Amino acid sequence: MRRAMNARVIRAGNAISPDSMHLFSFESQAAPSGSPGASARSKRGAWVWSGLVLLSWVMATVPWAMAQSSAQVPVRIWVGAPAGGTTDAMARAISQALSEQLGRPVVVENRAGAGGNLAAETVARAQPDGQHLLMSFTSHTINASLYPNLPFDPVNDFTPLTMVATSPSILVAHPSVPVHHLKDLLALARSRPGQLNFAIGGLGSSLHLASDAFKMKAQVFIVNIPYRGTAPAIADVLAGQVELMFANIGNAQAHIKAGRLKALGVTSATRLPGLPDVPAIAEYLPGFESSAWFGLFGPARMDPALVQKISQAARQALLSPAVRRRIEAEGAQVVGNSALDFARFVAQDVQRWREVVRFSGAKPE
């Protein structure tokens, strides 16, 4: 009798479901009429086998339910800068398209402070399951030299996924400065050491270190005047209180067109299509380049297949015309390189900024 019951269960196989439990009728398995306790044994057997059927159904449906639940858990992109800034704009530009590529929600979380280190530490300590990502920027590699006791390693504690964009800056001067070309500025600075000033919109920022990289390359002495943010720095340059500044192109372009600022050079390796008449500083200082960059990271020790999945999804998202328009509106150029290429870049960038930080003597605010 027991073999017959087992055979019936095996034949049912994966077709077991709550609706198919009626297939397992135990009336025919009941003990012969008149046997002691036949009715009780029949009921107990029915309950046992009904329980086994239910357990089989649960085991078959739990993985599906877990997969559905996992798909609803949001991926969080942490941003180490306030909402409304360029880094935040990069994260929000890519988030919707990335969500569509991954098939799950993607949300942006801002955790500003310590030059982006608070958000970076959050991701460095996260599980490498792809649920916590970091949209970082140039300070990620600058901070490796700027902060002596970071709670994480900017290279070894992260998995680079793709560089999202680069954003060259522009060297501007107040109209009262008696120069029209970059070569004029170099001559003036060399003839008047310590008499010109750079407005610095944040110590340790990429714009700050662009000015120091310029001075180091040109071998000139220009005084840094630090400000708490780009807005007050550019305001004093517009007012003529400070002569020079490296500024984001998006912040400076309207003032250049209106004649309130002079554009002397861009920090990209070559001239920009949108500013064809403005030379690259590298034309006068060979090898000079100081573009800001924005990139997507995960925690260290991510599974290679997961790295490939998220990196490819992000790169596909960057092909979207709507995403590209939003990024270009920030004065940036879309990149979307491979995880391996981005990892090589990050390691090299740490070394590149180490020399500049040492030259500048910059300390964290």
Kindly report, residue by residue over 274-325, the tens digit of the pLDDT.
899 999 999 999 999 999 999 999 999 999 999 999 999 999 999 999 999 9
How far, CA to CA in Å, does 77 sit from each of 21, 146, 299? 46, 24, 12
How far, CA to CA in Å, does 182 sit from each of 152, 226, 237, 287? 40, 23, 17, 15
Strands (DSSP E) found in 227-280: 244-248, 262-266
> What percent of the residues of the chain are helix, what percent strand, and what percent coil, each to the nearest 5?
50, 15, 35
> Which of 55, 29, 33, 58 has its CA nearest to residue 44?
29
Residue 111 has pLDDT above 90, yes or no: yes
Instruction: State the residue range of the domain holding 255.
Output: 169-283
Residue 11 has pLDDT above 50, yes or no: no
Domain boundary among 70, 102, 121: 70
Residues 66 and 77 in one domain: no
Sign of the Cα torsion 315, 316, 322, 325 reads: positive
pLDDT for the residue numbered 300? 98
Half-sphere CA count of 243, side-chain side, radius 13 A: 16
pLDDT for the residue numbered 66? 45
pLDDT, tens only, 178-203: 999 999 999 999 999 999 999 998 77
Residues 47 and 8 in one domain: yes
Residues 229 and 244 in one domain: yes
pLDDT, tens only, 49-96: 565 655 565 565 544 444 444 568 999 999 998 888 889 999 999 999
- Provide the number of structural domains found in the chain: 3
> Which of 92, 20, 361 has its CA nearest to residue 203?
361
Query: Tell me, what CATH number does 261's domain have?
Result: 3.40.190.10
Mean pLDDT of the chain: 85
Q: What order of strands is seen across the sheet that includes strand 262-266?
A: 223-226, 197-200, 244-248, 169-173, 262-266
Establish if 206 belongs to a structural domain: yes
Q: What is the 3-state secondary structure (H, E, C) of 128-178?
A: CCCCEEEEEECHHHHHHHHCCCCCCCCCCCEEEEEEEEEECEEEEECCCCC
Residue 160 has pLDDT above 60, yes or no: yes
Torsions phi, psi of 44, nearest 5?
-60, -45
Establish if 365 belongs to a structural domain: no
If you search the block for the tokens 């372009």, which residue do you land on? 253
Of residues 30 and 313, more confidence is placed in: 313
Residues 139 and 179 in one domain: no
DSSP state of 330: T
Residues 229 and 88 in one domain: no
Residue 235 is encoded by which pair of tokens? 């305001």
> Which of 197, 127, 195, 191 has its CA nearest to residue 159?
127
The residue-averaged pLDDT of 235-239 equals 97
Residue 105 has pLDDT above 90, yes or no: yes
pLDDT for the residue numbered 38? 54
Domain boundary among 255, 283, 311: 283
Domain boundary among 70, 90, 107: 70
Looking at the DSSP assignment, which residues form a beta bridge with residue 198?
Answer: 224, 244
Q: Residue 231 — very low, low, confident or very high, per pLDDT cuts 50/70/90? A: confident
Residues 198/199/204/207 CA torsion (nearest 10 deg): -80
Residue 13 is encoded by which pair of tokens? 């196989």
Least confident range of 5-9, 266-270, 313-317: 5-9
Residue 174 has pLDDT above 60, yes or no: yes
Residues 279 and 175 in one domain: yes
Establish if 342 belongs to a structural domain: yes
Query: Tell me, what CATH number does 328's domain have?
Result: 3.40.190.150
